Amino acid sequence: MGTLRDLQYALQEKIEELRQRDALIDELELELDQKDELIQKLQNELDKYRSVIRPATQQAQQQSAGTLQGEQRTKRQAISAEPTAFDIQDLSHVTLPFYPKSPQSKELIKEAILDNDFMKNLELSQIQEIVDCMYPVEYGKDSCIIKEGDVGSLVYVMEDGKVEVTKEGVKLCTMGPGKVFGELAILYNCTRTATVKTLVNVKLWAIDRQCFQTIMMRTGLIKHTEYMEFLKSVPTFQSLPEEILSKLADVLEETHYENGEYIIRQGARGDTFFIISKGKVNVTREDSPSEDPVFLRTLGKGDWFGEKALQGWELYASDLFYINIFL
């Protein structure tokens, strides 16, 4: 009998141990499901970011070639991830709408775009066209401007009023004048991710996806054409095939320097090639730290410098000198 009771007791212990293990497994499976859900959400957000920052010229080439290529270094451009079939001839005939605004309204829209994480990397010329194309919209108190889950085609900049942003019924924040909202609808082909309702009467400026796409594609293609012409003017690159020049044009970036600012310092690490698109630069050489720099020459539009950095040089050679901007 004692042996039987011992066996029954041991069986109960094993049953309890198995129950605890089952409970632990359930908890771990729940935690795993939550982590899988979080990973999926983060992956979706990452896909959105990648689509938002894809250069406009790359998107244009993908459509003309009919193939998808890998991500390239981001330039100061952002476009919709939706497919388009425009070329530069088509876009040159498109007339964009223009809506007059006060200087204060123009500045408010510009500053709102520059303050937005998704749109702040646009070219200033693109921002100016967006400002010109935005049209006025007004909503009364307790109106729904954006509804979560709906298909969106407008982005807004608030000039007057206040709105409340909610997601799945949970309040996220309130926004006032000088804020952009609804931008994912034109930057990425997706449904609205939150609901926006007015708390008071509001005045907004809006632009639709098609107009935004036209601006992005036109300025991107124009820039790409300009960059190609620049590259073709550089003797070092004249023997390169057209497709190679096109890839180089994709990764060129505009950089601006003020009068008197140094661009390259003699002996510094060299990893950048420059082509002058506007202005002039003075080239000087310092033979000795105790002597004044020696003036060598002046470079202007179409001239280039730093091309040896593209060949893998770690430091600028002795014939690459102080370069001082001269506008």
Residues 203-221 pLDDT 10s: 999 999 889 888 888 877 8
DSSP state of 290: T
User: Of 295 and 288, which is predicted with more confidence?
Assistant: 295
Distances (CA, A) of 205 to 80, 121, 195, 202, 208: 19, 20, 18, 10, 11
Tokens coding 208: 């639709």
User: Of 132 and 307, which is predicted with more confidence?
Assistant: 132
Query: pTM (2 decimals)?
Result: 0.54
At 27-70, the pLDDT tens digits run: 888 888 777 777 776 766 665 554 444 433 344 344 433 433 33
Cβ neighbours for 18, distance < 8 A, ≥ 6 positions apart? none
pLDDT > 90? residue 316 = no
Dihedral (CA of 272, 276, 277, 281) sign:
positive
Q: What is the pLDDT of residue 4?
A: 62
Determine the residue type at 247.
K
Instruction: Residue 146: name the closest of 164, 133, 160 by CA.
Output: 164
pLDDT > 70? residue 113 = yes
At 181-202, the pLDDT tens digits run: 998 877 777 788 899 999 999 9
Please say whether the beta carbons of 206 and 151 come within 8 A: no
Q: Average pLDDT in the 312-320 region?
A: 43
Burial, 246: exposed, middle or buried (Cβ in 10 Å; 0-12, 13-18, 19+)? middle
Tokens coding 172: 């996220």
Q: Average pLDDT in the 128-146 region?
A: 95
Q: What is the pLDDT of residue 174?
A: 94
Provide the 3-class DSSP secondary structure of residue 205. strand
Place of tokens 């140094």: 262
The C-alpha atoms of residue 274 and residue 253 are separated, in whole angstroms, by 10
**HSE, side-chain direction, 13 A CA sphere, residue 236:** 15
pLDDT > 50? residue 1 = no
At 213-271, the pLDDT tens digits run: 888 888 778 888 888 887 887 777 788 888 888 888 887 877 888 888 888 887 777 77
The C-alpha atoms of residue 73 and residue 281 are separated, in whole angstroms, by 27
Q: What is the pLDDT of residue 92?
A: 57
